[in-house]
Structure 1
Amino acid sequence: MPSDRNPVIIAARRTPIGTRGRALAGLDVGQLGAAVVRAALADAASVTGAPVAVADVLLGNCMGPGGNPGRIAALAAGLGPDVPGGTVDRQCGSGLAAVLDAAAAIRAGDERMRVAGGVESPSTAPVRMTGGAAYDRAAFTPPGFPDPGMTRAAEDLAAHDDMPRSRQDAHAARSHARAGAALAAGRFGAELVPLAGLRHDDAIGGAEPLLRRLPALFPGGTVTAGTSTRIGDGAAAVVVAPAGTGPGLAVRAALVVGCDPALPGIGAAPAIRSALHAAGATIADVDAFEIVEAFAAQSLAVLDRVGVDEEDPRVCADGGALALGHPWGASGAVAVVRLFSRLVRAHRPAGTLGVAAASVGGGLGIAMVVEVVR
C-alpha cells in the first residue's frame, strides 16, 4: 500500500492499569471503555478542528460478560444509537487486532473514522461454568492439540530456551525501573484518563533484590510471580482516520500469524518479522518497540528470536506489561497508545518507525508497523 494511502492513528488514550481487585474493581467493561472512547475522540476533535463522525467502535475483549462490549462502550460514551460497535477476541492480542481491523476497513475504501482499542475488567468478569463446574478460561485449542495455561507455557518456554532465572529477574526489574523513571518524569501523563481516583498504573515498583527472593511457581522451575505480569483492569482506545487527516501514526503494515500452540509465547517473533517484511523495513529501521510482556521468559524469547538485545532502549523504553500490568484484551491497544506517546507526543520526526506486537494464547502472534506522519 503506498504510504500516502495508509490509515493514520490521530489520537490515543488509555486508563491507568489497576491490579485486579483494586482501584478500578468497581468499573465494568462498558464504563472503562466509554472513558477512553470519549477521551480519544476529544483529542481527535482537537486535531481535525471539529467533532469526529464515528463509523464504528471496535474493542478487543476476551474474558468479559459478553453482550458486545464495543457497542456497550459506544452507547455509554454518548455516541448515539446510530453508531454501531463490535468486539474482537484474539485473546491477549485482541486490542491490537481491533486497531488492525479498523485500519483494514479504511484501507479497503470506507474512509470514515473509527475508534478501536480494547477493554478488560477481570475484577467484574463473570464466573464461567460448564457441566456445573467453574473454569478459569475456555480452551485455546481443540482436543488433540497442546493447550497449556499461560504460566505453564512460560515455564515450558524458559526450559525450552534454557533461560536462567537470573535473566528473567533482571528483565522484570528493568521493566519496573524504566516505568518508575517514566512515571517520575511525567511521561505517562498525556495518555492517561484517570478513573476512580487512580492516576497511574498501580503495579509499578518491583526491585530486583525483592524479585530474586520470590519462590518459583513450579517445583524446580524459574518463573515467579515477579516475572509474571499482574492481571489488571483497564482500557485503551485510538482514533483511526484516512491518510492525510492529521499528524499521527500511519499504519504501514500489520499481520497475524500462527505458531506452535505448545509454545504460544514466541508468536510475536514471526509476526514482527512478517510485518516488517510487508512494510519493506528491517529490525534496524525501527525506533520504538512495544511488545506485550506477559512474562519475562516470553518477552526474552521473542527478543532473542528477532535479534534484539534485551537491554535495547528501543524496547518498552518506559517499561512494559511486567511493570504496568496486563488487562488481557486491552494490552495490545495499550502498546499502540504507548507508541503514540513515544513517537507522536515526543515529537519524533516524520518517517520514524514503531512496532507494536503481542504473543497470544493458542499459538498466535500479532504485529503492526507504524510510521510517524506530520
Structure 2
Amino acid sequence: MSAVIVAARRTPIATAGRALAAYSAADLGAAALQAVCRDLTALVPRPPAEIVLGNCMGPGGNVARVAALQAGLPWETGALTIDRQCASGLSAIELAARLVADDHWPVLAGGTESASTAPWRCWPPADGAGPVRYERAPFAPPPLDVDMGLAADLLAEDAGVSRERQDAYAARSHALAVAAAASGEYAAELVPLPELLADDRPRAGLSPDKLGRFGPIFRPNGTVTVGNSCPISDGAAVVAVVPETSGLPGLRVLAAASAGVDPTRPGLGIVPAVRVALGRAGLTLDDVDVIEFNEAFAGQVLGCCDALALDPERVCRSGGALALGHPWGASGAVLVTRLFTQLVRQGRGRVGLAAIAAGGGQGTALVVEVVG
C-alpha cells in the first residue's frame, strides 16, 4: 500500500458511565486528533489532508467532521466517518493507507466511541426503558441476528473452550495490563484527560479462582461471564498515515483484509481476515513478532487462536480489551496504537498483526512492519 503510520495516540479507556461519561464521541476523537497533530509538528510542516474516523453508535451526522473542527483543524480538511461495527477503527486506518498520496497527506485515521452518550436509536424511547435494539444481520429463521454475548458463548462451546481456560485468559489480560501500566509502557501512547489520566478498568490480583465465582450471564449453562468478557467502554485512538515516499520512520502497512463469517458466530471473523491479510503480505504467523487481537470475550479469542493454531500466549502480551475495555468503533485503532508502542517505541520486533471481529459476522486484519 506504500503507506506508513508515523504517530499513534489514544485516550484512556473508561468503563461506560464512569470517568468519561460526559465526553461525546466527538470530544474523545478531538482529544486524540489534537495529540497526534502535536506529534506531527515535529515530523512534517503541513496540516492533515484528511480525517477518517470509525464509529458505531455516535449521533447523526459526520462525527469525524465534528471532531476535526472541534480539534481546531483547518476547515479545508476533509473528514469521513465509517462504520464496520467493532472493526470501524481498523477499517478507517486501512482506508487511510489507500488514501495517502504524494500530494494528499498526512491522513489521520482511527476511531472514537462514547457508549455513555450514544443517542437513542428511536424517538421517543420505547416505554422509557432504553434504546431499541438494532439488527446487525437480517433476522429470519434460523436467526442470524444473535446478540454478541450469546454468540460468544455458543462459539466457545463449538470450539470446546472450557470455562477454566476463559477465566485464566481473562486473569492474564488484567495481570499483563497492570504490569504494562506500572512499567510506563502505556504512558507514551496515552492522551491524559482532566477526568481520567489512565485506563480505569485493569485490576490487580484478579485470579482465575476469583473469576470462577461469577455466574454465566447469557444462558443458564453457559461459560461466558462478566469476568471473562470485555466491558462496554468509552475511548478514542488516532494514527497518522503518510506515503512511504515521505521517508519518515514508522510502521509500513503491508496488507489488510476483511472477511465475512456466519453471522451467528461473528467472533470468528478474526480467523479468515488474518489468513487473507497474511497471505497478501506473503507472511505466516511464524513471521509475526507482535499480535494484537481485540479481546471481546476470552472464549472468542481462545476459539480464534485454536482455529489458527496460534499459542494464545503470543496475543496481547501487554493486556487487551478484557482488561482495558472495548470502545467499539475505536478498538481497532487501539490495537494499532498498541502495535506502534511495542514495535516502534519499544523495538520489540519487526512485524505486527492487528485483528478484530465485528457484529454481523465480519473480521478485519492489518499487517505492518517497522520501517526507517
TM-score normalised by L of structure 1: 0.94
Question: Aligned partners of 2:125, 2:324: CA distance in 1, in Å?
Answer: 35
Which residue number in structure 2 is paired with residue 272 of structure 1? Answer: 274
SS of the counterpart of 1:336?
helix
Q: What does the per-residue CA deviation read over 1:24-71, in whole Å, with 9 as the maximum and x for residues that have no partner?
A: 1111111110110010111122123x2x32111111000111221100
Q: 1:110 to 1:159 in 2, by over 3 A?
A: farther
Deviation at 1:161, TM superposition (A): 1.3
Helix, strand or coil for the counterpart of 1:190? coil
Q: 1:365 aligns with which of 343, 363, 366?
A: 363
Give the distance between the partners of 1:274 and 1:186, measured in 2 at CA. Answer: 34
Which aligned pairs between 1:1-374 and structure 2 lie closer than 5 A?
Answer: 6-48=2-44, 50=45, 52-106=46-100, 111-129=104-122, 133=126, 134-144=130-140, 146-205=144-203, 206-217=206-217, 218-245=219-246, 246-312=248-314, 315-348=315-348, 352-374=350-372
AA at the equivalent of 2:351: L
Distance 1:38 1:368, change over 3 A: same
| 1:31 aligned counterpart, secondary structure | helix
Q: Which amino acid aligns with 1:278?
A: R
The offset of 1:93, in angstroms, is 0.3
Distance 2:132 2:359 in 1: 14
Q: Per-residue CA shift, 1:191-226, capped at 9, x if unaligned? A: 000113311111101432321111111201110001
> Secondary structure of the equivalent of 1:34?
helix
Deviation at 1:132, TM superposition (A): 6.0
- Give the whole-Å Cα distance in 1 for the aligned partners of 2:132 and 2:147: 10
Quote how far apart the aligned CAs of 1:330 are: 0.2
Alignment partners' CA distance in 1, 2:269 and 2:339: 20
Task: Indicate if the aligned counterparts of 1:292 and 1:335 stay in contact, CA closer than 8 A.
Answer: yes
Judge conservation of contact 2:290–2:348 (CA < 8 Å) in 1: no
What amino acid sits opposite 1:341 in the alignment?
T
Quote the Cα distance in structure 2 between the aligned partners of 1:155 and 1:148: 11
Amino acid paired to 2:334: V
Q: Would you say how many aligned residue pairs link Structure 1 and Structure 2? A: 363
Q: Contact 2:174/2:322 (CA < 8 Å) preserved in 1?
A: yes
Give the Å deviation of 1:130.
Answer: 7.0
Report the Cα distance in structure 2 between the residues aligned to 1:163 and 1:261, rounded to whole angstroms.
20
User: Which whole-Å CA distance do the structure 1 matches of 2:134 and 2:10 have between them?
Assistant: 27
Within 2, Cα distance between the matches of 1:111 and 1:291? 30
CA distance in 2, matches of 1:96, 1:74: 18
Which stretches in structure 2 are left out of the alignment for 5+ residues?
none
Distance in 2 (alpha carbons) for counterparts of 1:207 and 1:96: 31
Q: Is the 8 A contact 1:18 1:201 kept in 2?
A: yes
Given that 2:164 and 2:208 are in contact with CA atoms closer than 8 Å, whether structure 1 keeps it comes out as: no
* CA distance in 2: counterparts of 1:20 and 1:153, whole angstroms: 22
SS of aligned partner of 1:148: coil
SS in 1 for 2:244: coil
Call closer, same or farther: CA 1:339–1:132 in 2, change over 3 Å. Answer: closer
Relative to 1, partners in 2 of residues 1:343 and 1:132: Cα closer, same or farther, differing over 3 Å?
Answer: closer
**Aligned structure 1 segments of 4 or more residues deviating by more than 4 angstroms:** none
Provide the rounded CA distance (Å) in 2 between the counterparts of 1:45 and 1:32: 21
**Matched residues in 2 for 1:84 and 1:215: separation?**
48
Amino acid at match of 1:70: A
> Which amino acid counterpart does residue 201 of structure 2 have in structure 1?
A
In 2, are the aligned partners of 1:23 and 1:196 still within 8 Å (CA)? no
In 1, Cα distance between equivalents of 2:158 and 2:168: 19
Query: How far, CA to CA, are the matches of 1:336 and 1:264 in structure 2?
Result: 21
Say if 2:55 and 2:81, in contact at 8 Å, map to a contact too.
Answer: yes
SS at 2:202 equivalent? coil
